[in-house]
Amino acid sequence: MRTFIVDPSITLGKDDQADEFYQVCLNELLRHTDTKPIQNEMILHQSMAQSTDKDIIIFFNRMDNNYSASFVTFLREAVHVGTKFYPISITSDHRIPPKCIPDPQSYDVKDALERRKLTNLQIKTIAIAVARDAVSILQPTLTRRNMALFLSHRRSDGEEIAGGFYDAMCLRAQNRFRDLSDVLVGESAQEVIENNLRKSDAVIFLDTPQSGESPWIELELKMALSMNLPIVWVKLGEETNRVNLRIKPADSPHFSEPSVDLGLRQVEQNLVDSVIHKAFEISREKAMSIFGHIQRMRELDRNGKIAIETLSEQSYLYQVKIPRNGFRYVQRPMTHVVSFYGRIPKYDDRVIFNDSIIEHGYSKHPRLGHIYDAAIILAPMASQNNQDLVEDPHFVDSCDEYVASLELYSRGQQPSFTQKNGVIISGAFPDCEPEYQQALWNALCAFVQAIVDRSGTVIFGAHPTFQQVIFDIAKLRRPEDYKKAVHMFISKHFVTQATIEENTSYATVTGTDQVDNDRGKSLTAMRKAMINHENAACMVVLGGKTQRPGIPPGVDEEIELARTRNLPVFLIGSVGGRTAEIASGLQSAGWQSMPNHFPVEFNQELMVSPDYAVLANKILDSLGI
């Protein structure tokens, strides 16, 4: 699966507008997919016959259709193997593509600008849209051209501005859910909100000054964070008289527009485009997690626990055979056909999935039925109602849930060889752009799920946003003993005894006394109590604030306390922040001071790998948890 993008100089000659479009489109493609730029005649000749039916070629039409012989040959070679084409009409006079390609439809830049009410100065917006479109054509299960976006807003001061966003998204054909217009009278609002969140690719949080007092916004953010849904935080309105948010989706907003008029049902089109683009970026980054899940399956395959056959690289479609255990006679293995999705599957994906299964020889026998045990669309989260999408034995399940079930089945009821099964999680939002803070959420969810699934205990210091996510994951995965699964430490310097008692409904909670009414000393006391937890087997460090004058990073103190107690410390460097700094420093020093007793190669993998579920399993396996 590759994108070839042809420099406009090859077809148009010198054209400043096309050059700008090309560069922006190329940069966007390079961020999301394997891309080969064809920048001159030599590279064009070298690229002859390289494309396949899984690739796409983006190029600019000429007005007179008078293309060079080498370019026409390049296109004809691609037509022969079934390559997809994406011709671009930079003006209305360039709409007719070369006669040798089968599809005469071109992407009309001028028309796209007009339909979006944009000017020629905003051509970069269209270039990015073209790149996104090409990515979704190449990898249809990873991304979708029209995203399903959930608009979270406060009615009292955000109704008009939310209406403006809603209208603008309608013009762009973005699917959207807004509780004011989509929740019907008499329905359970919480149930409808949850169902629509499960159908959404991302949440657009319109944070107006009164958002902090809305229990519905708090509920929506809690649900979205627990589902690990990407959230684009758009802060609107002035800072004065703003109610503080109880739940923050990141350390800082993605967009801040203090001067916007909240009383008007209109929004700057550039802002809407930027917000949608940011949602796509974050969703695309989140979608990359499926590669970690696939790697986990391949680990099981390499270890002889299951057998995998790749059916379609483009659709991430696999046959999975799982040995049946514990019966007197030899049995055929369970057979699953699974397709990984980096986005929420829509209704039409059912047809594509079923057709793909039949295409690969899995037709239903008229008397014996299906030759597989289950066909499963694996999505970022499970569907609450599988019957809405597929028929038995077809299901929609969570990628992580499915792979975790394979891992659990392959492990069996193995006795733990360590008496301690508690994992301390240390960290905070790293000092990076908000969209890159999604990595922290991905890592946090992966580690908490792995620990809880293995009957371990998550040990951590209270954090107003993180704790709710940890509580929800534990209650979902360990409903019988979720309080035992989580042990939270919290300093009385920050909260009252009533708050501590309130949190005991969700977890085991230890409140530590404040020291001399001093923030730093009180935090140290809490950290010492947490690190000295009798069940702690190790500490995992995620993110954290970087070095700031006069403010020592909290993770540094926690690492020092853990090493004093001889607890192994695992630095997950790809999350960024202080953890990345520490891991990089150890790497530069040749790992002379090891944070744990594991090999250098393993610590290097922890430093760079973004496959957090894989890392969590390796750490827990090594400790016998």
Residue 417 falls inside a structural domain: no
Do 171 and 81 sit in the same domain of this protein?
no
Query: pTM value?
Result: 0.71
| pLDDT at residue 486, as a whole number | 95
| Structural domain contains residue 416 | no
Q: What does the pLDDT average to over 515-530?
A: 92
**Into how many domains does the chain fold?**
4
77 and 92 assigned to the same domain: yes
Does residue 209 share a domain with residue 319? no
Give the other-Cβ count within 10 Å of 461's Cβ: 24
Res. 389: pLDDT tops 50: no
Task: Label residue 255 by pLDDT band (50, 70, 90).
Answer: very high
Domain co-membership, 547 together with 583: yes
Residue 353 inside a domain? The answer is yes
Whether 119 and 256 map to the same domain: the answer is no
pLDDT at residue 184 is higher than 50:
no
**Pair (94, 20) in one structural domain:** yes
176: helix, coil or strand? strand
Alpha carbons within 13 angstroms on the beta-carbon side of residue 480 total 2
How confident is the model over 93-118, as a mean pLDDT?
Answer: 80
Are 304 and 323 within 8 A, CB to CB? Answer: no
Residues 479 and 613 in one domain: yes
165: closest CA among 280, 279, 235, 267?
267
- % of the chain beyond a pLDDT of 70: 91
Residues 474 and 334 in one domain: no
Residue 209 within a domain:
yes
Cross-strand bridge partners of residue 175:
148
Domain CATH for 205: 3.40.50.360
**Of all helices (H) and strands (E), which one includes residue 541?**
strand 536-543
**Distance separating alpha carbons of residues 153 and 235, to the nearest angstrom:** 11
Q: At what angle do helices 612-623 and 438-453 cross, to 10 degrees?
A: 40
Residue 143 lies in a domain: no
Mean pLDDT of the chain: 85
Greater confidence (542 vs 28) lies with 542
| pLDDT reported for residue 173 | 60
Instruction: Judge whether residue 585 has pLDDT over 60.
Output: yes
Beta strands in 289-373 (DSSP E): 307-312, 317-322, 334-340
323: in domain? yes
Higher pLDDT, 125 or 89: 89
- Shared domain for 283 and 162, answered yes or no, is yes
Q: Does residue 537 sit within a domain?
A: yes
Domain boundary residue, one of 389, 411, 433:
411
Side chain identity at residue 609, one-letter code:
S
CA 378, distance to chain mean position in Å, is 14
User: In which band, very low, low, confident or very high, does the pLDDT at 182 lie, cut at 50, 70 and 90?
Assistant: low
Q: How many helices (H) and strands (E) does the chain have?
A: 23, 21
Last residue of a domain, one of 138, 158, 186: 138
Pair 92, 206 in one domain: no
pLDDT band at 416 (very low <50, low <70, confident <90, very high): very low
**Whether residue 198 is found in the same domain as residue 294:** no
Residues 157, 122 share a domain: no
**pLDDT, mean of residues 514-539:** 92
Please report whether residue 156 resides in a domain.
yes
Q: Other C-beta atoms within 10 Å of 86: how many?
A: 22
Tokens representing 151? Answer: 């608009």
Mean pLDDT over residues 6-25, rounded? 92
Q: Which pLDDT belongs to residue 417?
A: 46
> Residue 208: what pLDDT?
93
Q: How does pLDDT run across 547-583, given as a tens digit for each residue? A: 666 677 888 999 999 999 999 999 998 888 888 888 8
pLDDT tens figures, 151-172:
888 888 888 988 888 888 887 7
Kindly report, residue by residue over 117-157, the tens digit of the pLDDT: 566 777 887 888 788 778 777 777 877 767 788 888 888 88
**Where does the pLDDT of residue 179 fall: very low under 50, low under 70, confident under 90, or very high at 90 and above?**
low
Region of poorest pLDDT, from 156-160, 225-229, 257-261, 375-379: 225-229
Q: Which two tokens stand for residue 282?
A: 């974050």
- pLDDT score at 104: 65
Parent domain of 101? 3-138
| Domain end residue (candidates: 264, 287, 310) | 287
Residue 48 has pLDDT above 90, yes or no: no
Cα separation of the two ends of the chain: 39
| Residue predicted with more confidence, 458 or 407 | 458
**CA gap 472, 49 in Å, rounded:** 52
Where residue 483 falls among pLDDT bands split at 50, 70, 90?
Answer: very high
Lowest mean pLDDT among 134-138, 278-282, 481-485, 510-514: 134-138
At 68, which CATH number?
Answer: 3.40.50
